[in-house]
C-alpha cells in the first residue's frame, strides 16, 4: 500500500495533502490525464450537500469527483 493508507475520500474540507498513487489502475489513467499526478498537492475544497461528490483543487484547477473515485487516490500527509 502506498502512503499511510489514507485516501482523498478521508480528507476534510480545507485540508491539503500530497498524492501518493492510485489503488485502481483503470481509473488511474483517467485521473492522471486530469492532472492528479503522484507527488502533486491536492486540496479538498468542499463536498456536495449529500456528502458525495466532492470538489478538490489539483494542478491549478478545481475538479469534482465521486467519493468512490476519490477513494482510489492514496495520499501522504
Strands annotated E in the chain: 6-7, 16-22, 41-47, 54-58, 61-65, 73-76
Decide: is 66 part of the binding site for another protein (CB under 8 A): yes
C-alpha cell at 45: 475544497
Decide: is 29 part of the binding site for another protein (CB under 8 A): yes
Decide: is 15 part of the binding site for another protein (CB under 8 A): no
Decide: is 18 part of the binding site for another protein (CB under 8 A): no
The answer to whether 28 and 42 are in contact (CB under 8 A) is: no
Size of the site for another protein (CB under 8 A): 31
Q: Which of 23, 45, 71, 76 binds another protein (CB under 8 A)?
A: 45
Burial degree of 76 (CB within 10 A; 0-12, 13-18, 19+): middle
Minimum CB distance to another protein, residue 39 (Å): 10
Binding site for another protein (CB under 8 A): 25-35, 37-38, 45-46, 48-53, 55, 59-66, 69
Amino acid at each position: 500500500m502506498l502512503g499511510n493508507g489514507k485516501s482523498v475520500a478521508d480528507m476534510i474540507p480545507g485540508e491539503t495533502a500530497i498524492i501518493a498513487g492510485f489503488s485502481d489502475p483503470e481509473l488511474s489513467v483517467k485521473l492522471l490525464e486530469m492532472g492528479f499526478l503522484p507527488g502533486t498537492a491536492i486540496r479538498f475544497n468542499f463536498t456536495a450537500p449529500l456528502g458525495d461528490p466532492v470538489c478538490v483543487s489539483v494542478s491549478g484547477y478545481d475538479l469534482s469527483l465521486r467519493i468512490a473515485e476519490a477513494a482510489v487516490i492514496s495520499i501522504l500527509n
